[in-house]
Structures are given as structure tokens and as C-alpha cells.
């Protein structure tokens, strides 16, 4: 296979890649007038036909989402750009925003035209200070150049982008949590229906898209849907509900590798390829014990499953929740899965918004059980309890409003079912090292 | 007309009814447990207790069930909706949710006020697992006794249903309560220095499904299973909130609202909720008295009633228009009828007037925004007219006297020495007569005072009849809207008092003991405007008497 030429990342290593001048010099905004003169429905169809699936984690077809907006809505329609990138191990949006903000802004302009919106809210993770400064400067440049504001480039299209800095919560990345947070409320995800496309921000129809998705929109418009479809994995013929995984994807590789990085590759590379070819292999000459395929809420791949294709359908075939954000975290064979899982659970219990009972209590309970196992008070039956708690938490039995609960339960299900031996050994050996004095301390 | 299937049973839902699955199931007596859902508050679907299986019955008879469990509170019941609440899947989900809710909940039921009327207890008993699998320490959160003047928060008992938060945002509008922190460290709290002291604050205690929010007034006073309840009507204002009076051993411990869409909805105000204390006041008139020239002779009811009757008959024989009576707007319809008909029987031209109708400020409507402006739609109103039965008493007076004489007019006639005997009925615990007004009766030969508490007019009284408060009587109150509702006797008055109805019954020398139901039939026959009070509907949510009765004269 010929070496893939990056598209989304084509400009990130160029000098002064963030300025409008260099973006224009590279052909940016060259055809924006043409795109704005297209009928909005045509733009939507183009994106829909390209098979672009949302890059935020759920992989929902982007063009299809746009078509859910009510026709002839009299009031405003909003676009929210989800830049609250908080999934552990994920940093692709950050690079896009810090290195090539205009690619994103152009995507926003196109998307807003497609959905007939003249207000876009960019919800940026608070911790991304540099992204904030870069985007702020880029948006100001665009206003000065007439690319944003009233009567954009004389096309009669109006668009304002509001750059909003979040206040630091994982749950603000959930689309309705993001909307609540933008409205100035506590980021408690909303009950659906109504979905945001019907009633979202300020009770108006709203589309929420990820940064990478909108960058893909820019590329689809310039390069065409056929180009997009030529990259990636076509639908599985045996699964009629699989829309396929087309296009380039930014894979973030971190953890116990020699060279953590973010690379752009066609959807469908294997985890092994990512580790060996792009991240320089597992560090210290060790082997990978487990790999997180797409952010910790997606679960774990075991060392036997490293050849799983990381497209939208692949991780699901080996018991993971999905591709998620394609943030690959490598765990080497010297690391205890108990510690890894404890870390995941602690994160999720800290970030649970606390609205739904199963998530609020379940995440905290699992963390407490793992804490107990780690101090040598574990019992083998705790593993079954953890599995049962994880089993009753997620959306799959239908018990919560948003997906955080599922994402909190999945690593537990995966870790214990795939690495049960590790857990049992840990519990037994920890108990053995515990002294009677420690036991007495626990009792008193 | 829509048909919904609940566990195989068909439920008919009216065309104008908009019900969710919980309400639809309740129609056939199927309980779908829920914590966060409340009929008057917005739906948040966060407790996840009401998860049920839901499907659609197609016209061809096949049923397509949704693969996931869905919250019953959030799912509308439409024609063809199939609700299954007793499948193993649903039961498992409930069991899991209850286990989660109880994880950090302290098992302090023996000292918890809510025990006995606690949804956590009830649902755990019905749907839970009976033991906890938590081996770790529970989260312990500090109690917040400063959350309001009347309210205290046992933070660790809270299950985060957020009903109280939504109440202060949506019903009172004052928004004092909020959720702070995140995840399992979440707590209900106030902004420092802004406690929940709005006029509807006490309702958050009622809507709390567990023992987290407790009333300071009721705290540790009683176990709820000792209490005996009677349905009644709050006499505090003309809204006439339907309430339940809880008592034990002839002592009232609390009032709480009884949901009644015809009257006030689901709530009541704090003024009414805590406004029953005078019932057990040691200031109460506790002995019938006869007074001559400032000399007080305690007596018994038989003697004093005979004297009163004799004095009234004597006054009636002394000429036309020599008897007057003031009928308090705190009397029931029955009492007003008994007194009016008795006096009319003595003399055809008695003067009948209505007692003072206390008006305080303006109607207080909720929700209010932060600046105090009322936000439409209005969800609760505390009325300025601080008496329970102006409309009912006026209806009786209109029947007997043709029109309703205001209290001031009667005072004028009394001070002009018109009357030989005046029968005054009080009952307003806030006082109903000033010293100056009382002077009007100084020259009247016989002043009969039937009241619960001392008032300035007592010094001119010749006969004092200690009567009962609203919790000691039975009868009909008619609210501002013309809604007639029944109050029930829940406690016996102190020794030396008699409920007004019994007093007047004996005064009128009617046979046997007072029977308000028979009396209501008599009134319904005699007064067309009040004909509806004999209807059996009265015993439930009450009956509307029509606009004519409600309109102020």
C-alpha cells in the first residue's frame, strides 16, 4: 500500500501554519464563495454521500444528522462545535486547533451554510489555553478579512462564531451537556427526545459537531465525496446496518510507547500497525499487554486482539464499545490491570455528573471496590460483583440519560473478562502480603 | 380515546388527557415506582427508578417492543402503547437502582422522621434486595441545619432526586436550592446566607421522597405510624387548600397538603402549614361563663345555653329588630345555617351581619422571579382574604336576610343602641375586633360571645361560649372559587369547649346529636344556591357551587 499522504494534517508542520495568509497561500478559502453559493441541501447531500461519520466518538453519520433539522424553521438554528476534548488519551482536536485553525473555521462556515445557521458556538475545553489564543486570533483575522460577520464575502450569508471556554468537566463533551453548559447551567445531559436537532441550544434546533468532523467537511468540499470514499473501509456486506468507515482519521497513540504521537491514517489500520510503525513500538523493549482502542470508555484490546482493525466497526467485534475517539493507549506487560482499571474508574467517578442514580453511585462503588482490592482486602467474588455492577450501569440495559455510564462500565467489563487471571492473582498475592497488623488496623 | 396496555390490562385514556406511563399504569392500580418524577414538576428522568419496557401495538395486532428499558415518567402513553412493568428485566433494573440508592444512604430509619412514609423503605421492601453488598465505608456528608428557618437537611439521606431544587425553581421561583459538587459527592445546598425561607418553603419537606428534608417543627415529635389523619381544609385564606391533619392523642402535630386539582393543586403555604398552633394555645377560652357587671361566673354548658336562649327569647319579645347576630367567615355553612335559622325562628326581623373579613395586602402569586415579579403561568396563590368561608356564610346570609350586612354597618347600629341582644361569633385566631369596635356593644343588654380566644369584646360579654377550632369541627367551607369542601373533626377540643355545631344544635334545641350530613341535606333543600353540598362528591375533592356563590357581595 502506498504511503498515505496526510490531508487534515497536511499543513501542521509548515511555518506560521495558523495565519490566514499562509492558509490562503495553500489554497484555503479559495472556493468558499462557490460553496456558499451552493444550495444548502446540496452541501448536506455531498457530506452525506461522502459517508462522513462523526469523529467525536459515537460515529453518527454527519450529513444524516444535519437532515434531522426541522424544515423551514422560523427561528435561529445553531451550530455548536464540540472542542471539549476530554477523553483520556485524546489530543487530535488540540493539534487541529493549535496548528491549523482556519481549516476548522472554513469547515464551520460550510457547515453553517449547510444547516442555515448564522451562529456558531465553539465550546473549547478550558485547559486548552493555546488553542484558545490561536482560535481567538484566527477568528479575529477572519472578521477583519470579511470571512465572518455580516454579508460574508458579499454572498449575503451572515455568520458569527462565539468562542466559549468551558469550565473543565468531561461531561461537557456530551452534546446536551455541552448545550446546558453553554446556556450557563450545570452540565447535566438532557433527556432525549427531543434531540438537539429539534430542540437544542436556547430551545432552538442545534447541531453539535466535533472539530475533526468539521475539518473533514472542509476537505470533502475541496476534494469531493468520491475522494473521501476512496479512503477507509467499505461497509461490511454481512451487516446491513454498517454504513462503513470512510475517510482519514487522526489516531492518537500514547501510553507505554517509545514515541507517543498523533498520526493521520485511513480508517481501518490495526492497533499493531499503529504501535509498531508509527509509535516506535512498546517502550523498554516490552510487549503490550492491553491496548485501549479509542479512549478509556471504549474498553481494552488484549494482546491477542492487536490485529483488530481500528475502524468504526472493528473494536465492537472484539467486545469493545466502539472506536470512540481513536485514542490508542498502550499498556505494557509490566503494568497491573488492576491499577489501570482503578485509574479508569477513578476518572469516571470523578467525572460522573451525578444526575442518574446508576452512574452516580455505580462509578463510585466500583472505585471503592478497586481501592479495597488494591490495599489487599479484595476477595475473588468482588470480581463478579464488579461485573454485575458494570452490567447494570450502562445504556445497553437502558438505565441512564447519556453514555458516560456505559463508558464507565465498559472498561470494567472488558478488563475483568479479558484479564481475569491478572485480577485473581493480584487479589491473592496482595492478601498474602498483608500483615496481621494491617488487618487489625483495618478492623479498628 | 386512546387505549394503553399495562401488563396486559387495557387502560382507556381520555382524548384530552396527557399522561405518562406512570400515570397510565396508576389508572389500573399498577404502581411504577419513581422518585424524581412529580406531577407538578418538570421531568428529569434521573432517578431511573421508573424504568419499564415499552412497545407499540401495531394495527395488525403485533407488538414491537423497544429493546431498551425506558423511563416511564418520560414516555407518553399514546394509543397502542404497551407498558410492561413486571418482567424480570424491569425487576432486575429496579433492584439494581435501589441498591445504588441505598449504597450511601444511612440506615438510620429508627431515628428518621420519614420512616413509615418513606419511599425508599417502601420500594426497597417491594422491589429491593434486602441487604447491601457494599463492603466499603459509606460517603458521609454534613447535615445542614441552616438550610431554612423551618427546614433542615440530612444530607447523607438524600437520593438526589432534585425535586426540591425544581420546586424552588419552578413553583416558588425563588431558586434557593441547588446541587453542588459532582458524582457521588453531590449535595443539595443553598447559597450561603440565602436560606429557603420563601412562603412555600415547607413543601420541599413533603415532596422529599426520603427523610433528607425535614420540618424543624415536626422533627422528632412523633413516629408517623402513631399519627391518625383526617382530611380537612386549611382555614388560613380563601384559597382553601385541601389538607390532611395528622394528630395523636388529641394533639395536632402537622398539616400537609392533600393533592386536589379543584382547590390548590399539590402544595400549601407555610402560613397555613404552621398556622394551627393556636389550637393548643393555653389562651383558649376553656369554660362557659356568665358575666354580670364585670363579675365572671364560670358555669356549665347546659346552664349557659338555657340563659342564652332565655335572653334571646326575651329580646325577641321586647320588640321588632332587637336581636342581631354576627356570623364569622370562619364558621362552616352548617353552623351559619343553624344560627341563622334559629334566630329567624325567634323573630322574623333579626339583623344578620357577616363578621370582619380580614384582608392582608394583595394576593401573593407564585412563581416569582428574582425581582419579585410574578411569572406566568401562576402555579400557586396565597390569597389576601384571610378566612376560609366568606362565600359560604354569605350564601346563608343572603338566603335568610336577603343581603349581606357588613360588620361596620352592624357596629353602627349596635352603638346606636338598636339591639337588646347580640350574638357574636368569632373564630379568627388573629383577632377580629379592636377595642374601639368592642365599645359598640357596651350598651347592649345581652352580648353573647362564641369564640375560641379572648378578644376585647369579652369585657362587654354577658355570656361566653368557648367554641372549637377548625380541627375540632366538621362541616363545609366554600373557597374563593365557590368550591365547597368538607372539614373533618380530627381532635377533641379541650375540656370546657364545644364545637360550634354542637353548641348551636343544642341552642336550637334540636333533637339528639348533631348530624352534619342530615343537616347538609336540609340546607340543600332550603337554600338552592347551596343545593350541591348534599352531593356525595363533596366527600372527595369537593363540589363547585357555581359563580353566584363565589362572587364577593
- Report how far apart, in Å, the C-alpha atoms of B187 and of each of A183, A367, B105, B158, B174 are: 22, 19, 13, 8, 19
Give me the mean pLDDT over the B432-445 stretch: 92
Domain end, chosen from A279, A303, A332, is at: A332
Q: Which residue matches cell numbers 366554600?
A: B478
CA distance B66 to B84: 11
Report the residue of chain A nearest B158, measured CA to CA: A357
Pair A193, A304 in one domain: no
pLDDT in tens, B455-474: 999 999 999 999 999 999 99
pLDDT at A435: 66
pLDDT at B456: 94
pLDDT in tens, A92-104: 999 999 999 999 9
pLDDT at A440: 59
Nearest to B160 among A354, A385, A399 (CB): A354
Give me the mean pLDDT over the B143-148 stretch: 94
Report the residue of chain A nearest B73, measured CA to CA: A191
- Furthest CA-CA distance within chain B: 90
Report the residue of chain A nearest B34, measured CA to CA: A357
Cβ–Cβ below 8 Å for B183 and A352: yes
Classify domain B289-550 by CATH architecture.
Answer: 3-Layer(aba) Sandwich (3.40)
Give me the mean pLDDT over the B105-125 stretch: 94
- Report how far apart, in Å, the C-alpha atoms of B47 and of each of B66, B102, B464 are: 20, 12, 57
Pair A24, A161 in one domain: yes
Pair A120, A188 in one domain: yes
CATH 3.30.565.10 fits B2-86, yes or no: no
From chain A, the residues in CB contact with B41 under 8 A are none
Give me the mean pLDDT over the A40-57 stretch: 93
pLDDT at A119: 95
Question: ipTM beyond 0.85?
Answer: yes
Pair A271, A409 in one domain: no
Which of B45, B95, B100 should be substituted to probe chain A, the one whose Cβ sees the most A Cβ atoms within 10 Å?
B100
Q: pLDDT band at B178, cuts 50/70/90?
A: very high
Query: Is 60 exceeded by the pLDDT of residue B237?
Result: yes
Is residue A8 in some structural domain? no
Specify which residues A149 forms β-bridges with.
A159
Cβ–Cβ below 8 Å for B182 and A352: yes
On the question of a cis peptide bond just before residue A24, with omega within 30 degrees of 0, the verdict is: no
Confirm or reject contact between A369 and chain B (CB < 8 A). yes
Pair A220, A357 in one domain: no
The CATH number that applies at residue A87 is 3.40.50.11540
Cβ–Cβ below 8 Å for B104 and A361: yes
pLDDT at B548: 62
What percentage of chain A carries pLDDT values higher than 90?
84
Domain end, chosen from A332, A365, A394, is at: A332
Report the residue of chain A nearest B54, measured CA to CA: A398
pLDDT in tens, A147-186: 999 998 888 899 999 999 998 799 999 999 999 999 999 9
Cβ–Cβ below 8 Å for B184 and A363: yes
Q: State the total domains in chain A.
A: 3
Pair A197, A85 in one domain: yes
How far from chain centre, in Å, is Cα A111? Answer: 19
Give me the mean pLDDT over the B317-330 stretch: 92
Report the residue of chain B nearest A371, measured CA to CA: B136
CA distance B225 to B246: 10
Give me the mean pLDDT over the B312-334 stretch: 93
CA distance A297 to A400: 15
Q: Which residue matches cell numbers 428518621?
A: B112
Pair A371, A431 in one domain: yes
Confirm or reject contact between A362 and chain B (CB < 8 A). yes
Pair A318, A304 in one domain: yes
pLDDT at B550: 63
Confirm or reject contact between A371 and chain B (CB < 8 A). yes
Global pTM reads 0.93
Domain B102-226 class, CATH top level: alpha beta
Confirm or reject contact between A261 and chain B (CB < 8 A). no
Pair A345, A428 in one domain: yes
Confirm or reject contact between A392 and chain B (CB < 8 A). yes
Report the residue of chain B nearest A396, measured CA to CA: B68
Q: What is the extent of the structural domain holding A297?
A: 245-332
Which of B41, B91, B135, B185 should be substituted to probe chain A, the one whose Cβ sees the most A Cβ atoms within 10 Å?
B135
**Cα dihedral B304→B305→B306→B309 (10° resolution):** 120
Query: Is 70 exceeded by the pLDDT of residue B21?
Result: yes
pLDDT in tens, A255-313: 999 999 999 999 999 999 999 999 999 999 999 999 999 889 999 999 999 999 999 99
Cβ contacts below 8 Å, chain A against chain B, sum to 101
Give me the mean pLDDT over the A332-351 stretch: 95
Specify which residues A250 forms β-bridges with.
A264
Report the residue of chain A nearest B133, measured CA to CA: A385
Query: Is 50 exceeded by the pLDDT of residue B241?
Result: yes
pLDDT in tens, B379-423: 999 999 999 999 999 999 999 998 899 999 999 999 998 899 999
Q: pLDDT band at A437, cuts 50/70/90?
A: low
Give me the mean pLDDT over the B321-349 stretch: 94
Pair A301, A373 in one domain: no
Pair A71, A208 in one domain: yes
The CATH number that applies at residue A281 is 3.10.20.600
Is residue A88 in some structural domain? yes
From chain A, the residues in CB contact with B43 under 8 A are 191
Confirm or reject contact between A363 and chain B (CB < 8 A). yes
Q: pLDDT band at B553, cuts 50/70/90?
A: very low
- The shortest C-alpha distance from A191 to chain B (Å) reads 7
CA distance A341 to A353: 20
More confident residue, B40 or B320: B40
Give me the mean pLDDT over the A303-324 stretch: 91
Is residue A356 in some structural domain? yes
Pair A43, A181 in one domain: yes
Nearest to B43 among A191, A354, A371 (CB): A191
Domain end, chosen from A332, A367, A402, is at: A332
Cβ–Cβ below 8 Å for A364 and B68: no
> Beta strand B63-65 with B543-544: parallel, antiparallel or unpaired?
unpaired
Cβ–Cβ below 8 Å for A395 and B104: no
**SS3 of residue B502 by DSSP:** helix
pLDDT at A432: 79
pLDDT at A4: 86
Extents of the domains making up chain B? 2-86, 102-226, 289-550
Q: Is B121 exposed, middle or buried (0-12, 13-18, 19+ CB in 10 A)?
A: middle
**Chain B interface residues facing chain A, Cβ-Cβ under 8 Å?**
43-49, 51, 67-71, 74, 89, 92-93, 96-97, 100-101, 103-104, 133-136, 139, 159-160, 179, 181-186
Cβ–Cβ below 8 Å for B45 and A360: no
Amino acid at each position: 500500500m502506498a504511503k498515505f499522504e496526510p490531508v487534515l494534517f497536511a499543513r501542521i508542520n509548515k511555518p506560521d501554519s495558523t495565519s490566514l495568509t499562509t492558509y490562503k497561500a495553500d489554497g484555503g478559502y479559495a472556493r468558499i464563495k462557490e460553496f456558499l453559493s451552493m444550495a444548502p441541501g446540496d452541501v448536506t447531500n455531498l457530506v452525506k454521500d461522502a459517508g462522513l461519520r462523526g469523529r467525536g466518538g459515537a460515529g453518527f453519520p454527519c450529513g444524516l444528522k444535519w437532515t434531522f433539522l426541522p424544515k423551514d424553521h422560523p427561528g435561529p438554528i445553531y451550530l455548536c462545535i464540540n472542542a471539549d476534548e476530554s477523553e483520556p488519551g485524546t489530543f487530535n482536536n488540540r493539534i487541529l486547533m493549535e496548528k491549523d485553525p482556519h481549516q476548522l473555521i472554513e469547515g464551520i462556515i460550510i457547515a453553517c451554510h449547510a444547516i442555515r445557521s448564522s451562529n456558531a458556538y465553539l465550546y473549547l475545553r478550558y485547559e486548552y489555553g493555546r488553542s484558545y489564543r490561536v482560535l481567538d486570533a484566527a477568528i479575529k483575522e477572519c472578521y477583519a478579512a470579511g470571512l465572518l460577520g455580516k454579508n460574508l464575502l458579499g454572498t449575503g450569508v451572515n455568520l458569527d462564531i462565539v468562542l466559549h471556554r468551558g469550565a473543565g468537566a468531561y461531561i461537557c463533551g456530551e452534546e446536551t451537556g455541552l448545550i446546558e453548559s453553554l446556556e450557563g447551567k450545570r452540565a447535566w445531559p438532557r433527556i432525549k427526545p427531543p434531540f438537539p436537532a429539534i430542540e437544542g441550544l436556547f430551545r432552538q434546533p442545534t447541531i453539535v459537531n466535533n472539530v475533526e468532523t468539521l475539518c473533514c467537511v472542509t476537505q470533502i468540499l475541496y476534494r469531493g465525496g468520491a475522494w473521501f470514499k476512496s479512503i477507509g473501509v467499505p461497509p461490511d456486506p454481512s451487516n446491513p446496518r454498517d454504513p462503513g468507515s470512510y475517510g482519514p482519521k487522526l489516531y492518537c497513540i500514547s501510553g507505554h510507547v517509545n514515541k507517543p504521537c498523533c498520526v493521520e491514517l485511513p480508517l481501518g489500520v490495526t492497533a499493531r500497525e499503529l504501535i509498531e510503525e508509527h509509535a516506535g513500538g512498546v517502550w523498554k523493549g516490552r510487549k503490550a499487554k492491553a491496548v485501549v482502542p479509542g479512549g478509556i470508555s471504549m474498553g481494552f484490546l488484549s494482546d491477542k486482539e492487536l490485529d483488530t482493525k481500528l475502524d468504526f466497526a472493528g473494536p465492537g467485534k472484539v467486545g469493545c464499545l466502539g472506536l470512540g475517539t481513536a485514542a490508542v493507549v498502550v499498556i505494557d506487560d509490566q503494568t497491573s490491570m488492576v491499577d489501570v482499571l482503578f485509574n479508569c474508574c477513578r476518572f469516571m467517578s470523578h467525572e460522573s455528573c451525578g444526575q442518574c442514580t446508576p452512574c452516580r453511585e455505580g462509578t463510585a462503588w466500583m472505585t471503592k471496590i478497586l481501592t479495597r482490592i488494591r490495599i489487599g482486602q479484595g476477595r475473588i467474588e468482588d470480581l463478579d460483583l464488579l461485573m454485575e455492577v458494570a452490567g447494570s450501569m450502562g445504556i445497553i440495559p437502558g438505565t441512564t440519560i447519556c453514555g458516560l455510564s456505559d463508558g464507565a462500565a465498559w472498561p470494567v467489563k472488558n478488563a475483568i473478562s479479558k484479564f481475569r487471571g491478572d485480577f485473581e492473582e493480584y487479589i491473592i498475592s496482595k492478601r498474602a502480603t498483608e500483615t496481621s497488623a494491617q488487618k487489625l488496623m483495618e478492623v479498628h | 380515546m386512546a387505549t394503553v396496555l399495562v401488563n396486559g390490562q387495557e387502560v382507556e385514556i381520555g382524548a384530552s388527557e396527557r399522561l405518562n406511563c406512570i400515570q397510565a399504569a396508576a389508572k389500573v392500580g399498577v404502581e411504577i415506582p419513581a422518585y424524581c418524577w412529580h406531577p407538578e414538576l418538570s421531568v428529569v428522568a434521573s432517578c431511573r427508578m421508573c424504568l419499564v419496557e415499552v412497545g407499540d401495538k401495531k394495527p395488525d395486532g403485533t407488538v414491537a417492543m423497544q429493546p431498551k428499558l425506558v423511563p416511564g415518567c418520560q414516555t407518553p402513553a399514546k394509543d397502542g402503547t404497551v407498558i410492561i412493568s413486571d418482567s424480570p428485566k424491569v425487576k432486575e433494573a429496579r433492584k439494581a437502582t435501589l441498591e445504588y440508592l441505598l449504597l450511601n444512604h444511612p440506615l438510620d430509619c429508627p431515628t428518621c422522621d420519614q420512616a413509615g412514609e418513606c419511599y425508599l423503605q417502601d420500594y426497597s421492601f417491594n422491589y429491593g434486595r434486602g441487604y447491601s453488598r457494599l463492603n466499603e465505608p459509606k460517603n458521609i456528608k454534613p447535615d445542614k441545619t441552616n438550610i431554612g428557618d423551618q427546614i433542615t437537611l440530612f444530607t447523607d439521606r438524600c437520593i438526589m432526586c432534585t425535586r426540591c431544587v425544581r420546586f424552588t425553581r419552578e413553583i416558588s421561583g425563588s431558586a434557593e436550592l441547588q446541587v453542588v459538587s459532582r458524582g457521588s459527592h453531590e449535595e443539595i445546598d443553598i447559597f450561603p446566607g440565602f436560606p429557603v425561607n420563601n412562603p412555600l418553603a415547607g413543601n420541599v419537606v413533603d415532596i422529599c421522597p426520603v427523610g433528607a428534608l425535614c420540618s424543624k417543627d415536626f422533627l422528632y415529635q412523633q413516629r408517623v405510624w402513631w399519627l391518625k389523619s383526617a382530611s380537612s381544609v386549611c382555614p388560613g385564606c380563601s384559597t382553601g387548600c385541601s389538607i390532611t391533619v395528622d394528630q395523636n392523642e388529641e394533639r395536632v402535630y402537622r398539616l400537609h397538603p392533600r393533592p386536589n386539582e379543584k382547590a390548590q393543586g399539590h402544595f400549601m403555604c407555610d402560613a397555613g402549614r404552621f398556622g394551627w398552633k393556636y389550637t393548643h394555645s393555653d389562651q383558649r377560652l376553656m369554660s362557659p361563663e356568665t358575666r354580670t357587671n364585670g363579675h365572671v361566673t364560670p358555669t356549665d354548658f347546659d346552664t349557659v345555653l338555657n340563659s342564652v336562649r332565655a335572653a334571646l327569647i326575651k329580646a325577641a319579645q321586647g320588640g321588632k329588630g332587637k336581636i342581631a347576630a354576627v356570623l364569622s367567615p370562619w364558621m362552616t355553612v352548617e353552623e351559619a345555617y343553624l344560627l341563622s335559622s334559629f334566630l329567624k325562628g325567634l323573630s322574623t326581623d333579626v339583623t344578620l351581619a357577616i363578621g370582619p373579613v380580614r384582608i392582608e395586602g394583595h394576593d401573593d402569586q407564585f412563581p416569582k422571579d428574582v425581582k419579585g415579579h410574578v411569572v406566568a403561568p401562576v402555579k400557586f396563590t396565597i390569597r389576601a382574604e384571610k378566612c376560609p368561608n366568606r362565600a359560604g356564610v354569605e350564601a346563608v346570609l343572603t338566603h335568610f336576610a336577603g343581603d349581606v350586612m357588613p360588620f361596620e354597618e352592624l357596629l353602627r347600629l349596635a352603638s346606636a343602641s338598636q339591639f337588646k341582644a347580640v350574638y357574636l361569633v368569632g373564630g379568627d385566631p388573629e383577632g377580629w375586633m379592636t377595642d374601639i369596635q368592642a365599645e359598640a356593644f357596651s350598651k347592649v343588654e345581652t352580648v353573647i360571645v362564641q369564640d375560641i380566644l379572648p378578644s376585647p369584646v369579652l369585657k362587654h360579654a354577658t355570656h361566653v361560649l368557648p367554641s372549637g377550632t377548625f380541627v375540632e369541627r366538621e362541616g363545609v367551607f366554600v373557597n374563593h372559587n365557590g368550591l365547597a369542601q368538607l372539614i373533618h373533626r380530627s381532635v377533641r377540643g379541650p375540656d370546657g369547649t364545644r364545637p360550634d355545631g354542637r353548641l348551636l344544635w343544642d341552642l336550637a334545641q334540636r333533637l339528639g346529636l348533631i348530624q352534619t350530613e342530615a343537616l347538609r341535606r336540609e340546607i340543600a333543600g332550603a337554600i338552592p344556591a347551596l343545593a350541591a353540598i348534599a352531593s356525595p362528591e363533596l366527600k372527595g375533592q369537593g363540589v363547585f357551587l357555581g359563580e353566584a356563590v363565589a362572587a364577593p357581595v
